[in-house]
Amino acid sequence: MKDRNRTVVVGVDGSGASMAAVAWAAKVASARHLELEIVHGLRSTELGQDGGIAGTDVLFDAVRQDGDRVVAGSRKVAASIDEDLVVTAKTPAESPAPLLVGLSRQARMVVVGASGSGGFTGMLLGTTAATLVNHAHSPVAVIRGRHGTAHVPESGPVVVGVDGSATSELAIAAAFEEASFRGAPLVAVHAWSDVTYEDFYGAVRIMPQWESAREDEERLLAQRLAGWQEKYPDVGIRRVLCRDRPRHALLEAAQTAQLVVAGNRGRGGFAGMLLGSASQALVQHAACTVLVVRLESRR
């Protein structure tokens, strides 16, 4: 993450969640001496712009004015966080999803709200934010409030899911960096569940020797964290090892966290499933902000 472009990109649509995303992104940019880029896609192709339809020019002018209003409001929020923060803004005549994915190629991070007015941050899975967390080239922060409220937590630990996958390794790196920047402790969660085997007669649950299995899982967690504590001696670590489904364990840990970091796919992901089940659950239901990292975000 450290050698990427020095810009935090935030997608805005004028909703309350969007403004919360601007505030969060501005704090990140200010604390790390980065620049903030505010982006609002106008969806001109969806409005029939340049399509020869009568009245579309008037409609597009109204949309443009609304976009300018949204950006102006976003600038005010950013200035309230840090009046010296370098802020740029754009309102291109493009659809939000491909616009943000394209900008993510050169961004340190892309930030969106968890819900919105149907622009950048509508229904997460199936619209713009889903496209972003699945296809962005940089880490994506989805700003979520505590227990479905507008209150975005700024205290508590950083939580990371550990499962031994390649994206999990990247998530660990990002989580240590985030915890160090925030002066927060790190909670490393490793969860595993019963193994289920399905045959012609139905599902059969395999019950291994759990004491032996726990020792193996403890070893895996220790191996994955090895070296990171030395690199970040300022970060206190608590290890959580539990026999549970990862999404359940991570959602529970998120109840008191300020940030959860997860890879877009885990060890149990299926080929072709871009967003793993644990990451999916976090993006939709976590009680704090979720940072999703992808292998493609590493340079």
Q: Where are the domains of the chain?
A: 7-143, 158-297
7-143 shares its CATH topology with 158-297: yes
For the segment 18-25, the average pLDDT, to the nearest whole number, is 95
Mean pLDDT for the chain overall: 81
Higher pLDDT, 241 or 274: 241
Rounded average pLDDT over 189-195: 71
Backbone φ/ψ region at 162: left (φ over 0), alpha (ψ -120 to 50), beta: beta
Q: Say whether pLDDT at 246 is over 80.
A: yes
pLDDT of residue 208: 53
31-85 per-position pLDDT tens digit? 999 999 999 988 655 555 454 454 567 777 888 888 899 999 999 999 999 999 9
CA distances from 148 to 27, 206, 252, 259 (A): 21, 37, 14, 15
Q: What is the pLDDT of residue 78?
A: 98
pLDDT, tens digit, for every residue of 258-277? 999 988 865 544 333 345 67
Verdict on whether the full-model pTM lies above 0.85 = no
Contact 109, 140 (CB under 8 A): yes
Are 112 and 140 contacting, i.e. CB atoms less than 8 angstroms apart?
yes
pLDDT at 175 over 50: yes
CATH 3.40.50.620 for domain 7-143: yes
Rounded Cα distance, 41 and 9, in Å: 13
State the CATH class of domain 158-297: alpha beta
pLDDT of residue 167: 84
pLDDT for res 114: 78
